[in-house]
A and B are shown apart, each in its own frame.
Chain A
């Protein structure tokens, strides 16, 4: 195997792909965890007085969970394309690292946004129910940031 290793297929080529797959799920999960925890504190504070609003207030938590699924999809795609160094060019490794970082950091940013908006939005909805539509719209715009990362990652993956 070592005889087939050239400058295009170095032994460390798959390292970049593996790091791409790992960073896709690690950073997405980090963002999703922050979003869940931050909006979870808001839900816990709000539910003491308005327990009937639980169904509406779970939405930020669900949206934060979806961020992690974006990372999971890209990580599974990259992990499926990994091969041993002789069949895996360095270029492919860079592409996969870029795809993983794209979805990972976008997910991190979207998770932070969902957490902060979810916390404030859920507390506000308890006092003024008409805020709910606004909260959902802001959450969707935060969620779309993660989706943009997913689109770029899939586009990179097809290169």
Chain B
């Protein structure tokens, strides 16, 4: 699509200025999309992997630390820890989507 724009721009010559501004607009839109994609990907990976890592880390770590705890209690503690960490990550994501999202505010003004 970018290539086609460039071609049309070179052919007409008269509205070359408009074409290049269109191109710049498209480029800025692309970089904006890329940065929002990076944010979403980061939070999604956080939400998927944080609880799993927390579960097994807590299971290994708590089992080592407090050896007097029964196996059942270690399992429960790590399950609760995993769920709590999951909700913390989800809360962060919702906070970021609601208050952060600098792209959406400026886009609407355009």
Residues of A bordering B, CB below 8 Å? 51-56, 58-59, 62-63, 65-66, 69-70, 72-74, 76-77, 80-81, 132-133, 136, 147, 150, 154, 157-158
Could you write out 14 A-B pairs with CB less than 8 Å apart?
A55-B97, A55-B104, A56-B98, A58-B44, A62-B47, A65-B48, A66-B86, A72-B52, A73-B51, A76-B55, A150-B83, A154-B76, A157-B75, A158-B72
The residues in B between 31 and 76 inclusive whose CB is less than 8 angstroms from any CB of A are: 33, 36, 39-40, 43-44, 47-48, 51-52, 55, 72, 75-76
Instruction: Judge whether A59 and B93 touch: CB under 8 Å.
Output: yes
| Residues in A whose Cβ lies below 8 Å from that of B76 | 154, 157-158
| Residues in B whose Cβ lies below 8 Å from that of A133 | 98
A51-B33, A65-B47, A73-B51 known; 8 other A-B pairs, CB under 8 Å?
Answer: A55-B96, A55-B104, A72-B52, A132-B98, A136-B94, A157-B75, A157-B76, A158-B72
User: Taking the complex as formed, is B107 at the interface, i.e. its CB lies under 8 A from any CB of chain A?
Assistant: yes
User: Taking the complex as formed, is B4 at the interface, i.e. its CB lies under 8 A from any CB of chain A?
Assistant: no
Instruction: Judge whether B79 and A55 touch: CB under 8 Å.
Output: no
